[in-house]
Structure 1
Amino acid sequence: MSEANLSRANLSGANLNRTNLGRANLSEANVTGARLSEAGLSRANLSGANLSDSIFNHSDLSRANFRHASLVRAELMWTDLRESDFEGADLSYSDSRESSMDRANFRNCIVKGTTLGGYMYNTILPDGNIISTPDPDRDQFIREGGDF
C-alpha cells in the first residue's frame, strides 16, 4: 500500500500492524483506534488526520507530515519520528518515550498530559525552543505533563 491515496478514508479500528504505508496520502483520514505497530509510514501525509487512540509502537514515521493531526492518547513508543512535522497537532496525553525525534518539529502542538521522550537533536519543541541531547545511548530527554 506504499504511496496509496487513502485521503479521507475511514480506517478506524483497523489492524495495520507491519503494513507499508510509506509515502501514502492519509490526509484527513479517520484512523482512530487503529493498530500500526511496526508499520512503515516514512514520508506519509497524515495532515489533518484523526489518529486518536492509535498505536504506532516500533514504527517508522520518519519525515511524515502530521500537521494539524489529532494524536490524542496515541502510543508512539520506540518509534522513528526523525524529521517529522507535527506543527499544530494535538498530542494530548500521547506517549513517545524511547523514540528518535531528531530534527522533528513540534512547534505549536497541544501537549496537555503528553510524555515527549527520547533522543533529540535540533528538535523544535512546542514553545519554539530547540533542544539537543548529545549522546543517544545515554541522554534521553523526557518531559511529562506538557510542561514545556
Structure 2
Amino acid sequence: MLFTIEDTFDLVLLGEIIKGDFKKLIQMFPSVRDKHIFFCSNGGRLVEASKIHQYLYGKNISITAGEKIDSSAMIIFLAPDVNDRYAKKYTQFTFHNPIFENGTTAEQQEQRNNFATLVAHKTNLSIEGVFELMNNEVVLNSDEALSYGIISKIIE
C-alpha cells in the first residue's frame, strides 16, 4: 500500500494491503490522532488490515473512501466512528468471502467470522446480513453503503 501526504488530506492510503504495511504505516506516521485520511484499496491481507484497524481505532480520525473499498479494506475503513466515514458518489464497496493462502479450515472460518462480526458491529448490518453480502459477492454503491451505516455522508 502507498502512504503519502496531500494538501486536502493528512494521509493518503492507496492500493493492495500487503504484508508489512502495518509496520510501514507506524514507522512513517507514529501518530495518526486527529488525521483526515483518504483511502482507496482493492483489499489484500486480512491480518494486516486488522492490525491497521487496531492502530487507527479510537484515534479521532476521519476517513474518505475513493473509488473502491474492497474486501479486507473494509476493516481499515471501519476504524473511525460512522460519523467520521465518508464516500465519494462513485465509491464501490465490495464484499466477498476471504481468499486464504494458508491456515487450517478452523482458522480460516474464525477469520471469516471475525470479519463479519466487526462489520456488523460497526454498521447497521447483522452478522447474517454480512455473510449474505459475502456469499453473494455483492458490490454496494455509496447510497447503499449509506443505508447500511457503512458511511455517514456522500461527498462530491
| Range class of TM-score, shorter chain | 0.3 to 0.5
TM-score normalised by structure 2 residue count: 0.44
Identify the structure with bigger relative contact order (alpha carbons < 8 Å, sequence gap 6+).
Answer: 2
**Which has the larger helix fraction?**
2
- TM (norm. structure 1) is 0.45
